[in-house]
Structures are given as structure tokens and as C-alpha cells.
Chains A and B, each alone.
Chain A
Amino acid sequence: SQELEQSPQSLIVQEGKNLTINCTSSKTLYGLYWYKQKYGEGLIFLMMLQKGGEEKSHEKITAKLDEKKQQSSLHITASQPSHAGIYLCGADRMNNDMRFGAGTRLTVKP
């Protein structure tokens, strides 16, 4: 099994709807990162969470870290077609050695 499990694997939502993507770690989380990837392209950094209970927002995207549950959630409010892509969570293992989940593919229907 993967060190980082993401759910759901894929998500189709209507434009304007809210959605949540989850990332659960099998190991203690020290740093949790969210990236977005357009199909077949490089990763774009979204947010980093380090402390339990930490919550960060960027535009309509909010990420939270529950250290006790070793989980993080990414919430998108009022989704837009520009939000479509693959969302990946990553966790530090060592300096610059990051482990990734398998990703959640988001489709936003106009």
C-alpha cells in the first residue's frame, strides 16, 4: 500500500460546487504539501502545512492538517473549470525526498 492515500481517486463536479480531497498518511506527518498537475505536465506548488491544526487558504482553495489523524484535506469553494487537474499530496521523508500520493483527478463541468 502507498505511504500516502488520496481519496477520491477521481471527482467530477459541476462548476460552482464545493469539493474536498483527502490525503491520509500511514506515517507521522511532519510536513504535508499540496501540488496541482495538469495532465502530463510538471507540478505546481499550492500549499505547505507543517503544524497540527494548521489551515491555509489561497484564493478559493483551503487546506487543513489534522496531525493526530495524520490527514490533510484540500477544499475548493465554488469550483471553476480552471481548477481542473490532478491534485497531489506529498510528504517529507528526508531533505528534498518527497513521497507522493497517487493523485486525485478533478473534472469541473461548465
Chain B
Amino acid sequence: DAGVTQSPTHLIKTRGQQVTLRCSPKSGHDTVSWYQQALGQGPQFIFQYYEEEERQRGNFPDRFSGHQFPNYSSELNVNALLLGDSALYLCASSLFRTARSYEQYFGPGTRLTVT
């Protein structure tokens, strides 16, 4: 049973460019949450997708957008990249009907470097 997978593993982009990160949830999960983790910091919640809709959003600008597909996989898009967007982007999957966050399973992350 595959866990949460993310692609690509690493990515280098230039300021002003756009990037798309991908996440496949754990089998049986229907909810995907995205987190940004800057170096030396804990993960910061970006947003959560369920039933192909954004359900919750953290304190991130509109440059950060996402999408969820019918197969529950998800994409995170970041436009007009800034140097400060350099971080590890983590995807977590869970079942929406559960309110117990520990049932979130995290992927290995995508390391984004903006130069």
C-alpha cells in the first residue's frame, strides 16, 4: 500500500516563474492538505482540499493556489515566485470525516529553491 507520494523531489526555479507541485494521497484518503516548511521552522498550513474544493486556507497570498482531481490527487501552484518561497513543501492526506489530525500521513516533500 503506497503512502503519500510527492513529485518532484527537488526543483529549482527563478524569481517570477511559476511552479506546480504534485501529491498523490494514501490509498483510501480523500483529503489533501499542503504545508510550507522554511528552513529551521515548523510546517505552516497553506490550504486543504476535499471534494475538489478548497475547504480551509492558511495565511498565504493568492499566488498560492491548488487543485484536487477526481482521483483525490492534488496540485499546488505558486505564481510569481519570490526568493522567500524557497522551502520544503509537504503534502498530507487524511479522511475528511475524521477530526483527528494525527491521522494525517505526510509525504516526503518537495524541496523548492528559488534563485
- Shortest Cβ distance from A33 into B: residue: B102
Query: Dominant SS at the A interface?
Result: strand
Residues 42-70 of B contacting A (Cβ, < 8 Å): 42-45, 48, 56, 58
> With A33-B102, A48-B100 as given contacts, are A41 and B108 in contact (CB-CB < 8 Å)?
yes
Chain A residues positioned under 8 Å from B96 (CB to CB): 95-96
Is B48 a contact partner of A42 (Cβ separation < 8 A)?
Answer: no
Stretch at the interface among A58-66, A76-84, A100-108: A100-108
- Shortest Cβ distance from A100 into B: residue: B42
Question: Is B40 an interface position by the 8 A CB rule?
Answer: yes
Is A98 a contact partner of B40 (Cβ separation < 8 A)?
Answer: no
Is B106 a contact partner of A42 (Cβ separation < 8 A)?
Answer: yes
Is B45 a contact partner of A42 (Cβ separation < 8 A)?
Answer: no
From B58, B105, B109, A97 is in contact (CB under 8 Å) with B58
Is A4 a contact partner of B42 (Cβ separation < 8 A)?
Answer: yes
From B41, B102, B111, A40 is in contact (CB under 8 Å) with B111
Residues 69-93 of A contacting B (Cβ, < 8 Å): 88, 90, 92-93
> With A40-B88, A103-B41 as given contacts, are A98 and B99 in contact (CB-CB < 8 Å)?
no
Residues 25-39 of B contacting A (Cβ, < 8 Å): 31, 33
Is B109 a contact partner of A42 (Cβ separation < 8 A)?
Answer: yes
- The size bracket of the interface on B is 20 to 34
Chain A residues positioned under 8 Å from B56 (CB to CB): 94-97
Is B48 a contact partner of A96 (Cβ separation < 8 A)?
Answer: yes
> With A94-B56, A96-B94 as given contacts, are A42 and B99 in contact (CB-CB < 8 Å)?
no
Is B42 a contact partner of A97 (Cβ separation < 8 A)?
Answer: no
Is A42 a contact partner of B33 (Cβ separation < 8 A)?
Answer: no
Most B CB contacts (10 A, CB to CB) among A41, A95, A103 go to: A95
From A43, A45, A93, A99, B90 is in contact (CB under 8 Å) with A43
> Could you write out 10 A-B pairs with CB less than 8 Å apart?
A42-B4, A42-B106, A42-B108, A88-B42, A90-B101, A97-B101, A98-B45, A99-B42, A102-B41, A103-B42
